[in-house]
């Protein structure tokens, strides 16, 4: 296992649209394992492959307190969604920034597991938010893109400065 480098907004690589995974193999399982380790170490509750510069549809999520309920989603797709709710979000690619985003309240998704088997999952609350946030990453979007222009500019400035200072 290895820790992976997480890209920071406004890195243009975060805007790349991820490709569907055609084969679930050992290389993919290895990447998923490294992503989980990276997420736990950060610490965070979700990580999309896009954030570690792998542009394929792969996401890891664990919203549990004990960090023992890892969910890995290959090619996740939202099948249906209901409701709308505003909640505060953050992102490992946007360190130190939290803001309110409106998302569907409940989602039903379809994905493959790490054996290549399809499954469906119904989610609400934090898990639903997290799934939508990670699927956004796969489509080249960060939550900042859902905020006002003014906020986007402020965040961009702040993070560019921060990354310069810590380089
Ligand atoms: Ni994120």
Predicted confidence band at 167 (pLDDT cuts at 50, 70, 90)? low
Q: How many helices (H) and strands (E) does the chain have?
A: 3, 7
In the numeric block, the tokens 């307190």 are attached to: 65
Taking the whole predicted model, whether its pTM rises above 0.85 is answered as yes
Q: Tell me the CA–centroid distance for residue 90 and ligand 1, in Å.
A: 7
For residue 163, the model assigns a pLDDT of 83
Spatial neighbors of 100 by CB under 8 A, at least 6 apart, are: 86, 87, 88, 89
pLDDT in tens, 26-63: 999 999 999 999 999 999 999 999 999 999 999 999 99
> Tens of pLDDT along 59-107?
999 999 999 999 999 999 999 999 999 999 999 999 999 999 999 999 9
pLDDT level of residue 1 (50, 70, 90 thresholds): confident
Give the distance (Å) from ligand 1 centre to CA of residue 134. 6
Helix (H) or strand (E) holding 84: none
Active site (annotated) includes residue 134: yes
Residue 132: which of 72, 69, 59, 68 has the closest Cα?
59
- Residue 164 has a CB neighbour count (10 Å cut-off) of 8
Secondary structure class of 6 (helix, strand, coil): coil
End-to-end CA gap in the chain: 25
Q: How far apart are CA 127 and CA 150, in angstroms?
A: 29
Query: Chain-wide mean pLDDT for the chain?
Result: 97
């Amino acid at each position: 296992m290895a820790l992976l480098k997480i890209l920071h907004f406004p890195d243009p690589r975060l805007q790349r649209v991820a490709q569907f995974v055609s084969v679930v193999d050992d290389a993919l399982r290895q990447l998923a394992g490294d992503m989980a380790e990276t997420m736990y170490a950060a610490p965070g509750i979700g990580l999309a492959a896009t954030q570690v510069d792998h542009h394929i549809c792969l996401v890891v999520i664990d919203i549990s307190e004990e960090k023992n309920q890892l969910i890995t989603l290959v090619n996740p797709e939202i099948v249906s969604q209901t409701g709308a709710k505003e909640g505060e979000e953050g992102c490992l690619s946007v360190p130190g920034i939290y803001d309110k985003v409106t998302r569907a309240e409940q989602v039903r998704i379809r994905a493959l597991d790490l054996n290549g088997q399809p499954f469906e999952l119904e989610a609400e609350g934090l898990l639903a938010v997290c799934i939508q946030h990670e699927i956004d990453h796969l489509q080249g979007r960060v939550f900042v893109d859902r905020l006002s222009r003014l906020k986007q500019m402020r965040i961009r400035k702040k993070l560019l400065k921060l990354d310069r200072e810590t380089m």
